[in-house]
Amino acid sequence: MSYNLLKGKRGIIFGALDENSIAWKTAERVNEEGGKFVLTNAPIAMRMGNIQQLAEKTGSEIIPADATKVEDIENLVEKAMEVLGGKLDFVLHSIGMSVNVRKGNHYTDMNYDFTTKGWDVSAVSFHKTMQVLYKKEAMNEWGSIVALSYMAAQRVFPDYNDMADNKAYLESIARSFGYFFGKDKKVRVNTISQSPTPTTAGTGVKGFDGFIAYADKMSPLGNATALECADYTLTLFSDLTKKVTLQNLYHDGGFSNMGVSQEVMDTFMKDQE
């Protein structure tokens, strides 16, 4: 169903890789709601994914950019405004990566060069993106910038490894930069803390299947899907949430406020027997 929520709005969507990714679903939904955007991803990710199909489907241009390189982001933002014919109303940062996780390094046995690379890609890239948008006056007033996070920023999930630190850093940047973006440019900045979602990035985490099942049993409404996250993101891009900023918004079926659920207790008691 379309509500025309984003008619006449323009933006940039980072991180669409394939049909499973939240950025991909968001792009499809933004398109359905009347928004126009450019797609961007790192050149290496573009070779791995099917972003071309998404561009054709949504009538969008792709501008490759390595989000850790300021000059790439500057080029992206300038070209996006040219292509779209004006300033931007929304930006989605859907980027995260841990080399330590990929290489199977335990949290107690990190390669710190990998750690640095991970937080540059997953968190500092968000600061770099906002700094470029801010300096170039690229956002319209009441625009909206959203990054995707996960609850491991607040609580311990042992196998989530240094991505937990990356997400905590990301959320802090959203608040800190969001203050200046709000005060100086009337732009809002928020993070969405999504349920564990079977995306290409998510399934890289050890024990992910069991974890999704656990979260689903724990949440009164069950896990939120990638498409449902896309819908929630649209509300933050729309004019209906003009005064929502500096928030980390849980989109997780209620998981974040649960201690334990009956289903999890039942499963646990079965194991005890």
Selecting among 107, 112, 134, 160, the annotated active-site residue is: 160
Q: Is 135 known as a binding-site position?
A: no
Rounded-to-integer distance, Cα 112 and Cα 119, Å: 11
| 194 touches 251 (CB < 8 A) | yes
Q: Tokens at residue 245, please?
A: 């900023």
| Matching residue, tokens 């109303």 | 89
Q: Tokens at residue 93, please?
A: 């940062």
| Matching residue, tokens 């992206």 | 76
Q: Is 34 known as a binding-site position?
A: no
Rounded-to-integer distance, Cα 174 and Cα 248, Å: 9
Q: Is 256 known as a binding-site position?
A: no
Q: Is 202 known as a binding-site position?
A: no
- Give yes or no: 150 in active site: yes
- Give yes or no: 214 in active site: no
Selecting among 134, 150, 214, 250, the annotated active-site residue is: 150
List, edge to edge, every strand of the sheet that includes 188-194: 61-62, 36-40, 10-14, 88-93, 139-149, 188-194, 248-251
Q: Is 98 known as a binding-site position?
A: no
List the binding residues for NAD(+): 15, 21-22, 95, 167
Q: So which residues are the catalytic ones? A: 150, 160
The binding site comprises: 15, 21-22, 95, 167
